[in-house]
Structures are given as C-alpha cells and as structure tokens.
A = this chain, B = another copy of it.
Amino acid sequence: MSTYSISQLAALAGVSVRTLHHYDAIGLLQPAGRSSGGYRLYNEHQVLQLQQILMFRELEYPLAQIQQIMQTPDYDLIHCLRQQQQLLAGRIAHLQRLQSMLDFTIQQQESSAMTTSSQLFNQFSQATLREEAAQRWGEAEVRQSEQKMAQLSSEQQQKLAAEGEQIARGFAQCLHLPADAAEVQLWAVRQHQWLQQYGPCPLQRLVMLGDLYVSDARFQAYYDRFGAGTAVLLRDALHWYVASQSAP
C-alpha cells in the first residue's frame, strides 16, 4: 500500500495543497494518519474518496452536502445520480437558451451596426421571460409560438412589436375611463387579437396574462411607462372583456 504526502495527493488529484488542508479542517477528507513530524499521510483509500468528492464538486454540490452524502452509510446513490441528471439537464437547457439569445443578438449586431442598449435589454428580458413562460405554460407551447415568430420576417416582427406598443398607448390614453368603457373594451379586443398572433390564446389564458401584467413588476413597469396605472387598467379591461365574452 503506497502512501502519499499532501503535495503528492494534491498533484495526483489536480487540486491545491490548501484545498486538502481545508477538507481536513472541515472533516471532509481526513488523512489516514500523521508522520512523526506531524505531516499528513494519505493512502489509496483517500485517493478514491477524494475522487468522489471531486465528482460531486464538479456537479456543484456544496461541500457540506458532499460530506453528508458520503457519511451516510447507505445513501441512495442512484436516486442521487438521477437528481443530478435532472439538474444538469436544466442547466444545459438554460445555457442553450442563453446561447440562442446571444446568437440572435450577434446576428442583429452584424446586420445593423448600431444597436441601442434598449434593444439589448429587450433581447435579454425576452429571453428571461421566455424561460419563465416555458415554466408557466410548458415548453411545447412556447416553442410553437417561437416557431411562429421565426417564420415572420424581422419587418413583420417589428410591426408586431409596434402594434403592441400602440395598443399600450391606447390604454394609457384611457386612464381616466373605467375598465368597462366601450373605448377601453375596444383596446382589449385589439390586445386579444394581437396576442393571438403569437399563438392560440383562450380566454382563460387572457385572464392569467392580465394578472401577470400587474403582478409581474417587469410587465407592470413596461405598461406603466405609457402612464401610471396602465397595467392595472389593462388587467381590469381584460377581465371585463373575458367576463363579457364567456357569459354573453
């Protein structure tokens, strides 16, 4: 049985001596023993343990949890691995979304040399929102909507965005009116039609979206940019619209 000094083990595993000091201090990996001079001595068993620790660390487990896992005599390894798999898949998906966002941004940058910071902001927040949307409504729906968008030319996309803004301005100009006013309801209809260009939008979803516009600070901020209270008016208008539609 070969034994290793601390620097040997460090080199073997590709970590620093300080790391091993640290692991010893917190009790995660203690040396097999000490030499007469007080030097830490490790052997094969520690090498294996360290490799396992590093595996978990690679998967970004906190050290405390690694310790807990490895101290449990009969922990459910396979369950643990499965969990890890899920976590990894999520992280990869997240990064891939970021990447497609970046690709898109770069593409835009290259085509039109000038991009304002607000365009960047929009791209980023759209990516963020998309991710939340995927969680809220499921991956499939969001992807459908994305495909629909992808088929449109960028001109058409811009038109769509512009129409959204126009509607928002429309609501903002009705801030003095109640949600059930005819003019407000007209804008509600337009909002619904506009949303349907992104994909199917049943009335139920319209209600959820209305709530989202108020409860989500980012949507609120977006709409209230056109006038304080616009988000609330929009929500109430949509609620009223849905009520009138579902029970005519």
Please, which residue of chain B has its CB at the minimum distance from the CB of A121?
B51
| B121:A52 contact, CB within 8 angstroms | yes
Nearest-Cβ distance from residue A6 to partner chain B, whole angstroms:
13
The yes or no answer to A18 lying at the interface (CB within 8 A) is no
Instruction: Provide the bound-state CA to CA distance between A145 and B176, in Å.
Output: 72
Instruction: Provide the bound-state CA to CA distance between A118 and B1, in Å.
Output: 15
* A81-130 interface (Cβ within 8 A of B): 81-82, 84-85, 88-89, 91-92, 95-96, 98-99, 102-103, 105-106, 109-110, 115, 117-118, 120-121, 124-125, 128
Q: Which residues of A are interface residues toward B (Cβ below 8 A)?
A: 2, 4, 8, 11-14, 44, 47-49, 51-52, 54-55, 58-59, 77-78, 81-82, 84-85, 88-89, 91-92, 95-96, 98-99, 102-103, 105-106, 109-110, 115, 117-118, 120-121, 124-125, 128, 217-218, 221, 224-225, 228
Instruction: Provide the bound-state CA to CA distance between A59 and B88, in Å.
Output: 17
For A225, the chain B residues whose CB sits under 8 A away are 2, 44
| B92:A109 contact, CB within 8 angstroms | no
Instruction: Provide the bound-state CA to CA distance between A14 and B132, in Å.
Output: 12
Instruction: Provide the bound-state CA to CA distance between A175 and B91, in Å.
Output: 48
Nearest-Cβ distance from residue A47 to partner chain B, whole angstroms:
7
Instruction: Provide the bound-state CA to CA distance between A42 and B82, in Å.
Output: 44
